Chains A and B, each alone.
Chain A
Amino acid sequence: MILQGENILKQYLYKGGLINALDHVSFSIEKGDFVTVTGPSGSGKSTLLLSLFGLVRLTSGSIVFDGNRIDNISDRQLTDIRKNSIGYILQSFALIPYLTTIQNVMIPLALEKIPGKEQVKRASEILDYVGLSDRMEHLPRELSAGQQQRVAIARSIVHRPQIIMADEPTGNLDPALSLEILEFLKKINRENKITIMMVTHSPVAAAYGTMKLHLNEGKIVHT
């Protein structure tokens, strides 16, 4: 088991009252799972994703990652876990606009202080893997939406994480490109045994999950 949530409660103060964004949520994810998290807007999908690695602190409950409880550790320790063990893919690609494709991919390696030559080697290999070896010196604005999302995927796996958190990765893409990206994620999941946890609105995307969590009003209604 790579990730386990136990009785997770996340409350927000809103107009003088408490809102349960996550209402006593529990789940277990095995290494190599492709987990999809679905649900209507405001059901708590993104909050769940952010809560899992300290981007949002829990009100109560516990999270165990790779055998260690991480809901009560320091910001610095959480930062280290995010840096070394997690990859992120966001709906808007979140590429840094003034960096080239390869420079964007090298960021997680730079944060890990990996030597420059090794950074270039690993980023080149990953860009080759996602089919962008001929776009390494392009800026994000010079790439199509699908290519930009592939750069984001390359960036999310270049530092060999244990789990990828994907928040609506196909939300900005047309159906054809969405399928292309989903196939990529599936390939990464199968070939590299990287666990994927993907929040999505799309039933097509949700169908890729080997484990499916459906949230409604902060509760898991079925798995």
Chain B
Amino acid sequence: MTISGLVLIELWKRKSQLITGLLAITLGIAVIVAIQSVSVVSEQNVARNLDNLGANILVLPQAASIDDYYTSDIDAPTLPMEYVERILSSTIAGVDNMSPKLTRRVKVGNQSIVLTGILPKSEIASKPLWQSSGLLGKALTTACAPSQSTSKSHWMEDVKLQRRAIDTLYSEDCLAGSQVAKKLKLSANSRVNIMGKEFNVLKILPETGTVDDDRIFANLRDVQKLLKIENQVSAIEIMGCCNAISEGLLGQLRNILPDTRVTTIGQIVSTQIETNQLMKKITLVMLIIIFFVGGISIGNYIWANVNERKREIGILRMMGAERSTIYKMFLLKALILGVAGGVLGFILGTLAGVILGPYLAGIIVKPLYIYLLWSILLSVTISLAGSLFPTYLAAKFDPHSNLQED
């Protein structure tokens, strides 16, 4: 038998007390794990939804109107193409894709349409609905999204290479939105004359229900030449990581592009930021409550245990147990309680998240195993902190006075 063995035997023989001692800390850890499990999955879901929406940051000239996010680039003042390079050459994290574009209203025959010059691959990458229609390009997810089904080139080590925009739409080709195609009676491989230049309609874009349905897209360089607005763009759409946005991506962009307006799909992003912040605050409040309630609960349990075992401590001290042995006995017990509380709390919290997540938040929650480690660390810290003072008093007990009670 060892002192550790003595602790284990005592715990095992007094199971009901053990359960009582564990209850508060287990429930506390469970609540934190449940909240965190749900909020992390919720954040991931919003990030995924933002991906599906496509670009979520718009860089416009300072004088442009942003009354309508989706049409604010039409006929807007321009900004230099060099700004794309400026973003590319920066080390700002969270910029996952950029689509510079130049947009103007033009006449085709007697019809007024919107012509937009794009860099096709980056434009396609930022438009999930285009990707699903079988157009070029693979789906691009933000770096903070949970599943990254991106092309390998996007995940190169060099962050600048990850953002390289590739121009592959040939000079004579264009893409037509579904509504403008109906209006101009266009079909795939038909031809359309825009401002004296013949374009081959490479593909009719799927209906998206957005302003894109009313646009004809052609190569940015050709549109710049056609409109005689060389090296200028009317907007740069950016797919920004949601977390990066909440952590100051917009400010960083404004710093390197001082004479522009940098805006977001404000409501969605701000809602997400508010939700994330609320969850963080709730978790912090819970953490403080758990620390005190759990610590006091464990401390109370250990103190009751110390009082109950005064005679035992006296006997052990009389037989030659050092103060350090008494410390070891009670702190080891607290450590075991901490580990058990952490593991049980993780299991209970995860189960609560998995079971209640779909009902309360409409999301499917999967176990986050890294939280097992955090649960144990937190629980052990609380347990040891709560036990220190009672253990100190136990080690200070005078064996003589405790044995005199005999």
Contact = CB atoms under 8 A, between A and B. Distances in A.
Contact of A76 (B3, B10, B322, B403): B322
B406 interface: yes
Interface stretch (A30-38, A63-71, A100-108, A184-192): A100-108
Contact of A107 (B13, B316, B399): B316
Contact of A108 (B311, B320, B404): B320
B14 interface: yes
Given A55-B400, A91-B406, A116-B1, A98 B14 contact: yes
A62 interface: no
A98 B13 contact: yes
A119 B399 CA distance: 25
Contacts of B312: 96
Contacts of A204: none
Contacts, number: 66
B320 A83 contact: yes
A94 B315 contact: yes
Given A94-B311, A94-B403, A110 B1 contact: yes
A88 B318 CA distance: 8
B393 to A, nearest CB: 17
Contacts of A76: 322
Contact of B9 (A86, A94, A99, A112): A99
A88 B321 CA distance: 13
A138 B318 CA distance: 24
- Residue from A55, A76, A108 whose CB has the most chain B CB atoms within 10 Å: A55
A76 B315 CA distance: 16
Contacts of B318: 55, 82, 88
Contacts of A90: 403, 406
Contact of A103 (B1, B3, B320, B403): B1
B6 interface: yes
B404 to A, nearest CB: 8
A19 interface: no
Contacts of A207: none
Given A92-B406, A103-B1, A110-B3, A83 B9 contact: no
Contacts of A109: 1
Interface in B377-406: 399-400, 403-404, 406
Contacts of A113: 2
User: Chain B's interface: helix, strand, loop or mixed, by majority?
Assistant: helix
Contacts of A96: 312, 315
A84 B400 contact: no
A79 B10 CA distance: 24
Contacts of B6: 99, 107, 110
Contacts of B322: 76, 79
Given A94-B403, A94-B406, A98-B9, A107 B319 contact: yes
A80 interface: yes
Contact of B1 (A56, A83, A107): A107
Contacts of B400: 50, 55-56
Interface of A: 46, 50, 55-56, 76, 79-80, 82-84, 86, 88, 90-92, 94, 96, 98-99, 103, 106-113, 116, 119
12 contacts: A55-B399, A56-B400, A79-B317, A79-B321, A79-B322, A82-B318, A82-B320, A98-B13, A98-B14, A108-B320, A111-B319, A116-B2
Closest A-B pairs by Cβ, 8 of them: A83-B320, A98-B13, A92-B406, A82-B320, A55-B400, A106-B1, A110-B1, A94-B315
Given A79-B317, A94-B315, A96-B315, 10 more contacts: A55-B318, A55-B399, A79-B320, A80-B320, A88-B315, A98-B10, A107-B1, A110-B6, A111-B319, A113-B2
